[in-house]
Amino acid sequence: MNLTPLVQSFVLHFGEMGSHWGINRTVGQMYALLYVSEKPLNADEMAEALGFSRSNVSMGLKELTSWRLVKLQHLPGDRREYYSTPEDVWAIFQTLAEERKKREVDPTLTMLRGALLETPSNPADEHAQARMAEMHDLIDLTTSWFTDIQRLDVDTLKTLMKLGSQVQKFLEFKQKLPTFMGGSETP
């Protein structure tokens, strides 16, 4: 399989971006290739298209699988395993957010909670704990909110996002008079 220039540049960009992220270059490229592919690909096709060794592709797919970013499927009359990415970009985004939370945020929250249980034995520790508490509360609030908001269906989420900072007006209702309600001026 030969990549078109358009796909080529997308794939290469994702590779570079991968390293700015925590993911390695070749894994980024593999994901990008699957993401834009019309049909599921098997490992040999990927190795050929990207110029990687077969074993590297195997490792990469294992990694992508652990992130729940690829789907495995079989084609009738073909023993080989075919991979693709989920269709729904919002679902992909959600998966990514969940995995990152699990890997990068939750361990920190756990560590902070542990540290906050200790009894500070000197002023330095006391100050450190106060700082850790601030960090804990921020992370806790942010991630709880994220988890909570994932329950919303995509359309509601889109509406909320398009509303942007105008949410403020809606929130003000909680404190203010019911009579204001009528005139809803949305962009």
Residues of the shown chain interacting with a second copy in the complex, contacts defined by CB under 8 A = 4, 6-7, 9-10, 13, 17, 19-22, 35-36, 38, 89-90, 93, 103-104, 107-108, 111, 115, 118, 120-125, 127-129, 131-132, 134-135, 138, 141-142, 144-145, 148-149, 151-152, 156, 158-165, 167-168, 170-171, 173-174, 178, 181-182, 184, 186
Among 8, 9, 55, 142, binds DNA (CB under 7 A): 55
Cβ closer to DNA: 10 or 146? 10
Token pair of 76 as six digits: 């009738």
Q: Which is nearer to a second copy, 20 or 79 (CB)?
A: 20
Task: Considering the complex, state which of residue 78 and residue 148 has its C-beta at the smaller distance from DNA.
Answer: 78
CB of 4 to DNA, least distance (A): 22
CA nearest to 99, candidates 72, 68, 70, 71: 68
- Find the distance separating the first CA and the last CA of the chain, reported in whole Å: 47
Least distance between a second copy and beta carbon 178 (Å) = 4
Stretch that binds DNA, among 44-52, 110-118, 144-152, 167-175 (CB under 7 A): 44-52
Q: Which of residues 71-110 bind DNA (CB under 7 A)?
A: 78-81
108 touches which of a second copy, DNA, none (CB within 5 to 8 A by kind)?
A: a second copy
Whole-number Cα distances in Å, 90 to 75, 79, 97, 125: 26, 31, 10, 43
* Residue 53 interacts with DNA (CB under 7 A): yes or no: yes
Distance of alpha carbon 149 from alpha carbon 52, whole angstroms: 40
Nearest to 51 by CA among 14, 125, 94, 1: 1
Residues near DNA (CB under 7 A): 19, 24-27, 42-44, 51-56, 58-59, 61-62, 78-81
